[in-house]
Structure 1
Amino acid sequence: MKLTILGGGGFRVPLVYGALLGDRAEGRVTDVVLHDLDAGRLSAVARVLAEQAAGVPGAPAVTATTDLDEALRGADFVFSAIRVGGLEGRAADERVALDQGVLGQETVGAGGIAYGLRTVPVAVDIARRVARLAPDAWVINFTNPAGLVTEAMSRHLGNRVIGICDSPVGLGRRIARVLGVANPREAWIDYVGLNHLGWVRGLRVAGRDELPRLLADPDLLGSFEEGKLFGTEWLRSLGAIPNEYLHYYYFNREAVRAYQNAEKTRGAFLRDQQAGFYEAMQRPDAEALKTWESTRAEREATYMSESRAAAGAGERDADDLSGGYEKVALALMRAIARDERTTLILNVRNQGTLSVLDTDAVIEVPCLVDANGAHPVAVDPLPDHATGLVCAVKAVERQVLVAAESGSRTTAVKAFALHPLVDSVNVARRLVEGYTAEHPGLAYLK
């Protein structure tokens, strides 16, 4: 089975390959094709993968190419993990937003809109090529903003594109752990929303909802990441556990101030850190896997550091430094390829799951997955406060899609102005001016 990874020179690709190395079942991936526009990055990642595969019988063969059509032909699965504009673009997204006093995080607020406006045209081109060159392939989208990009691609690939994120999985795992659930896989996580905008409303084990027990115990509630980040009083008030990214909404002023006071924004930190990794990999004698692992450990330990600092949440727990999106991707791929039916929280078309959104809106909910793809599970309606946020952000995503398709600068301004974290039409106009000045990829906005 052939797996094509778009953005194959990306830093997290070894996580995916490591997961593939542990899959010994019949029908596993035998060929991995890495595609990237940067041949140097491709070479660096290929060296890491070669060291990972050393001594592993039957390790998937790895090839690398800068030719997109060549990479896609004959693919059974396509992982899309591109970053349009690179980490330099992310750093610029943060800087332009902060100059206007608003959040510049890559998936939330102004930064997410800028990233989406750059990424959607490229993602749509990829979707069209997949439909032409590998019509039977399944596309698993890692590319942020994951929900928005998945929806853009779904207009050309239908249900054969599925978005993934490790945030809901990590959240469910943490809740199960503090509740003493022996096997988190046996827990049903009642999670619903959009990507990076969702809530856990229940965690059922053997038919019993254990979340009320957590919410009733302040010590237990304050013992894990979200309890520290949001505070136990606010979580009990919500009656749910929000995705960590909702900290940017519930504590927006504090988050913006923390970003402004930080020595470097997250994008600038990662840009410099990963530049060091790729520069080190230019040396023929560099220990590829060791260099990558040490860089990754620092990356994970500093995840959402600004928000944790603003909340006084301290350092991340060691158990939360293991990532997980590669495991979600492998489970999804196995379920489709082998009809190993499972339940995963995924980004898929709504299909009537949330009545406040139309059928084609991509949402993030538990899905039953089999050989025919991912099927969203019926969920209870969201409370009013959550419905308001979900509908507002989905409306913004739709304006981004319209702007990307039409090239309308006016529509791009509207997308920024309608976002709950951008508080002024004039600020929206200045954001568009700032972003188009920074990013050549936004020259299509007229």
Structure 2
Amino acid sequence: MDLLKIAVIGGGSSYTPELIDGFIKCYNEMKVDEIWLVDIEEGKEKLEIVGNLAKRMISNAKLKTKIVLTTDRKEAIRDASFVLTQLRVGGLDARANDERIPIENGIIGQETTGAGGFAKAIRTIPVILDICKDIKSLSKDAWLINFTNPAGIMAEVVNKYTDVKVIGLCNVPITMKHNIAKALDVAVNRIYIELMGLNHFVWGKRVFLDGKDVTDIVIKKLCDGAGLNMNNIPDLDWDPRLLESLGMVPCPYHRYYYMQEEILKEEIESFRNKGLTRAVEVKEIEKELFDIYKDENLNTKPEQLEKRGGAYYSDAAVSLINSIYNDKKDIHTVNILNNGAITNIDNNVVVEVNAVVGKNGPMPICVGAAPNSIKGLIEVVKSYELLTVRAGVDGDRKVALQALSIHPLIPSFSKADKVLNELIDTNKQYLPQFK
């Protein structure tokens, strides 16, 4: 790795200043020579706005890192050491449909799980596989660091259909860690969470403060109303009886499962009364952000970016790259093949667990067996993910219908069938595999 080149696919994303900020903070440990921000032609205007802000941020930090803006994905990937994917096929309009169509059919509309997450996955799978082809031909030793949702499904498809080195990454685990540290009023580096599960479906089996098990204390804090949420999820209080009986710390996304009825009611009311889904709100936030990014006097990450929902993204992504590049062998929560981490789950499927990360990549840390209280849930959601991968690669409607029919957020076969037809019809321009 003589030249440290980073390619960011989806470089015109509103998240990019967060990422650039992370590379700036980490420069003393990892001097990045080039960051190539690449986007599609339709995203060129946003790429220019974000890219110019990135250049001002680098200049303000007095760094030598070169920022390159391009719509040529192959040139961005060529000889890159790391390829980061943070793309959204179809943009926020597609996300709005992912949320709207399920809600109109009386089921939860969410962009990364359930019917909405399925639609996002099958749109994204062909693009991710194309990117992997470019990596193998232009930079075969590069690491693919995928932040594109559904991150677990993307890691699964890359592992099953390519030999690209991939690590799936999400900001949920690091957000949980920060929120728990805040609840305990301690520095975040004193907290360690023993995590097990899937992407956006992970539990804190045990929580440690300076090596001491404080799981019960954290659960008590949550029962008393301590915050453990993210900007893009309805902030409903946990039922203390659920937390006490579970004996583990759920992630914010578990509200969609454990509080399905309450969240669905809230989504339907918001949609009927205001025509609002989260995508509509994000559109407004992004409009505000890009107006701010245009300010030629702005040369740092703006505070308003925190509203977007990607808190600690740069901490997670940049520190992971740093661990590989500098062979640090520190611990990260990642989406990788199980390989014995959760002892009663198939070794050859992608899970979200802690791993020791060095120059050879992640080595999963064994967390033991998943308790019966969550094992069944993990198994059924993983089965949904595996079926979604097959459907997304092969364009098989029968397999797609199986995937939606078993998902816990979809209550019946008839609902699955209707929603599937509507989603495929609405997204047909992005689904060449289904033609």
2:433 paired with 1:444: yes
Letter of the structure 1 residue corresponding to residue 386 of structure 2: R
2:73 paired with 1:68: yes
Q: How does 1:20-99 map to 2 (within 5 A)?
A: 20-25=23-28, 27-37=30-40, 38-99=43-104
**Distance change (3 Å), C-alpha of 1:255 and 1:202:** same
Q: How does 1:218-297 map to 2 (within 5 A)?
A: 221-225=224-228, 229-262=237-270, 263=274, 264-275=276-287, 277-278=289-290, 286-287=295-296, 289=298, 293=302, 295-297=304-306
Letter of the structure 2 residue corresponding to residue 185 of structure 1: N
Letter of the structure 2 residue corresponding to residue 213 of structure 1: I
1:383 Cα deviation (Å)?
A: 1.5
1:445 Cα deviation (Å)?
A: 1.8
2:381 corresponds, among 393, 401, 408, to: 393
Of residues 127-136 and 83-92 in structure 1, the stretch that sits farther from structure 2 once superposed is 127-136
Letter of the structure 1 residue corresponding to residue 374 of structure 2: A
2:166 paired with 1:144: no
1:54 Cα deviation (Å)?
A: 3.1
2:399 paired with 1:411: yes
Letter of the structure 2 residue corresponding to residue 33 of structure 1: W
Of residues 45-54 and 89-98 in structure 1, the stretch that sits farther from structure 2 once superposed is 45-54
Structure 1: tracts of 5 or more residues without a match: 301-321
Corresponding residue of 1:214: 218
1:85 Cα deviation (Å)?
A: 0.8
8 A contact 2:395–2:434 mirrored in 1: yes
Q: How does 1:165-204 map to 2 (within 5 A)?
A: 165-181=170-186, 183-204=187-208
Q: How does 1:123-142 map to 2 (within 5 A)?
A: 123-142=128-147
1:224 Cα deviation (Å)?
A: 2.5
1:241 Cα deviation (Å)?
A: 1.1
Corresponding residue of 1:3: 6
1:159 Cα deviation (Å)?
A: 7.1
1:345 Cα deviation (Å)?
A: 0.9
Separation in 2, partners of 1:291, 1:433: 45
Q: What do residues 59-100 of structure 1 show as CA deviations (whole Å, max 9, x unaligned)?
A: 421001111111100100111111111111000110111111
8 A contact 2:77–2:139 mirrored in 1: yes
Q: CA RMSD in A?
A: 2.2
Separation in 1, partners of 2:299, 2:324: 33
1:217 Cα deviation (Å)?
A: 5.9
Corresponding residue of 1:422: 410
1:272 Cα deviation (Å)?
A: 3.8
Corresponding residue of 1:374: 362
Separation in 1, partners of 2:197, 2:240: 21
Q: What do residues 388-417 of structure 1 show as CA deviations (whole Å, max 9, x unaligned)?
A: 111111111111111122211121111111
**Distance change (3 Å), C-alpha of 1:142 and 1:289:** farther
**Distance change (3 Å), C-alpha of 1:229 and 1:61:** farther
Separation in 1, partners of 2:34, 2:300: 25
1:16 corresponds, among 10, 16, 19, to: 19
SS at match of 2:302: helix
1:169 Cα deviation (Å)?
A: 1.2
Separation in 1, partners of 2:392, 2:60: 47
Separation in 2, partners of 1:26, 1:172: 23
Letter of the structure 1 residue corresponding to residue 305 of structure 2: R
Separation in 1, partners of 2:222, 2:26: 41
Separation in 2, partners of 1:26, 1:326: 15
8 A contact 1:187–1:205 mirrored in 2: yes
1:362 Cα deviation (Å)?
A: 0.8
Letter of the structure 1 residue corresponding to residue 11 of structure 2: G
Separation in 1, partners of 2:139, 2:303: 37
8 A contact 1:356–1:391 mirrored in 2: no
How many residue pairs align between the two structures?
A: 420
Letter of the structure 2 residue corresponding to residue 265 of structure 1: T
1:158 Cα deviation (Å)?
A: 4.4
1:25 Cα deviation (Å)?
A: 2.4
8 A contact 2:343–2:368 mirrored in 1: no
8 A contact 2:57–2:299 mirrored in 1: no
Separation in 1, partners of 2:53, 2:390: 40
Separation in 1, partners of 2:368, 2:375: 12
Letter of the structure 1 residue corresponding to residue 384 of structure 2: V
Q: What TM-score do the two structures reach when normalised by structure 2?
A: 0.91
Separation in 2, partners of 1:381, 1:415: 25
8 A contact 1:222–1:231 mirrored in 2: no
Separation in 1, partners of 2:157, 2:195: 23
1:155 corresponds, among 152, 160, 168, to: 160
Structure 2: tracts of 5 or more residues without a match: 230-234
SS at match of 2:109: coil
Q: What TM-score do the two structures reach when normalised by structure 1?
A: 0.88
Separation in 1, partners of 2:98, 2:311: 24
1:51 Cα deviation (Å)?
A: 2.5
**Distance change (3 Å), C-alpha of 1:159 and 1:212:** farther
SS at match of 2:434: coil
8 A contact 1:127–1:156 mirrored in 2: no
1:125 Cα deviation (Å)?
A: 1.2
Letter of the structure 2 residue corresponding to residue 361 of structure 1: V
Q: What do residues 368-400 of structure 1 show as CA deviations (whole Å, max 9, x unaligned)?
A: 111111111001211213111111111111111
1:156 Cα deviation (Å)?
A: 4.7
8 A contact 1:277–1:292 mirrored in 2: no
